[in-house]
Amino acid sequence: MNAKIIYGTAWKKERTSGLVISAVLNGFKAIDTACQPKHYREDLVGEALQVLYDKHGFKREDILLQTKFTPLSGQLPTPTLPYDPSTPLPTQILSSFSTSLSNLKTTYLDSYLLHSPMRSLALTLQAWNVLVGLREEGKVRKIGISNCYDVRILEALEEGEEEEGVRGKRKVDVVQNRWYEGNEWDVDVWKYCVERGIQYQSFWTLSGSPSLLSHPSTLHISRTKQITPSQVIYKLAQMHGITPLSGTTKEEHMKDGVGVERIDLFGDVVEGEDVEAVARELVTSMDEDGKMRPIGNMGGRS
């Protein structure tokens, strides 16, 4: 299962369980969380899943579960810390992984990510080796990394990937990054992912790009297709091989996000303008500061 949009659970606090239930009932098939009590309630995601299983007829295989190992730099030193920080890094990861399985009431994960690179490349590679092992053991189906904006780190993770006997063992399956105007849409990492068949997941997709949401071409497509500006941006992201995260707390916006997959921006001519041409203008336009860079040609249907 490869979802087109993922429900993000950061910052939901005590509302996490109810919002996850609502998201799934409104069509989301993938949930993103982290074993990081500072920003996530992974345990409440698990409570929501149990309700969905017991009361709404869902099965474990119906929902893609993705969580993360968060290094000590991203944790609060509280009793809820999911590992002993005095233990070696591999032990910390395995302890956090075990906590995640317990929290999420599952025996395996669909996707497991490093929440960020470690403080050194050597430690990042050490952590990656643990994730590679979990995938080889069948405890995780996909592995990846978040908040990684340097292609050289991704290359290091996959070093030797093409060698005989290694192929497939070190592959990065997922990268989850901010995709927004502040980092010029993370072009280099996005391109690396597209070229290597890595799923690129985006966050801050809407909140980080107000000028894109209010762009005349976005508004034109919105009016022409009778969809929201947010749906326009999500669809353009999907057309570029990007899987956006949505963290909305409103049911209406949940339905809008899930519905993006069925939207077709092609083939319409309204007032003499081809919607595809307007979309191409949007993704190759530049803002007043000249910071917006093209994220590629539309190239055809998603």
Q: What is the pLDDT of residue 184?
A: 84
Q: What is the pLDDT of residue 297?
A: 39
pLDDT digits (tens, 9 = 90+) for 161-216: 555 455 568 999 999 999 988 888 899 999 999 999 999 999 999 999 898 888 88
Q: Is the pLDDT reported for residue 85 higher than 50?
A: yes
- Per the structure, the count of domains in the chain is 1
CA distance 201 to 278: 25
Is position 296 within any domain? no
Is position 129 within any domain? yes
Is position 299 within any domain? no
Q: Is the pLDDT reported for residue 300 higher than 90?
A: no
Q: Is the pLDDT reported for residue 302 higher than 50?
A: no
Q: What is the pLDDT of residue 178?
A: 97
Q: Is the pLDDT reported for residue 284 higher than 90?
A: no
Contact yes or no for 261/231 (Cβ under 8 A): no
Q: Residue 30 to residues 12, 172, 285: CA-CA distances in angstroms?
A: 16, 19, 32
Q: What is the pLDDT of residue 215?
A: 86
CA distance 236 to 230: 10
Q: Residue 166 to residues 124, 160, 163, 175, 192: CA-CA distances in angstroms?
A: 19, 7, 5, 21, 20
Q: In which element (H, E) is residue 300 found?
A: none
Is position 297 within any domain? no
Q: Which of 37-41, 255-259, 290-294 has the lowest mean pLDDT?
A: 290-294
Is position 290 within any domain? no
Q: Which of 12-21, 27-36, 272-281 has the lowest mean pLDDT?
A: 272-281
CA distance 208 to 178: 8
pTM assigned to the model: 0.90
pLDDT digits (tens, 9 = 90+) for 113-166: 999 999 999 999 999 999 999 999 999 999 999 999 999 999 999 986 555 455
In this prediction, residues 2-22 reach a mean pLDDT of 97
Is position 1 within any domain? no
32: CATH: 3.20.20.100
Contact yes or no for 116/153 (Cβ under 8 A): no
Q: What is the pLDDT of residue 26?
A: 98
The residue among 248, 98, 237 whose CA lies nearest residue 180 is 237
Contact yes or no for 110/142 (Cβ under 8 A): yes
Domain, as residue range, for 182:
6-209+229-262
Q: Is the pLDDT reported for residue 257 higher than 60?
A: yes
Q: Is the pLDDT reported for residue 299 higher than 60?
A: no
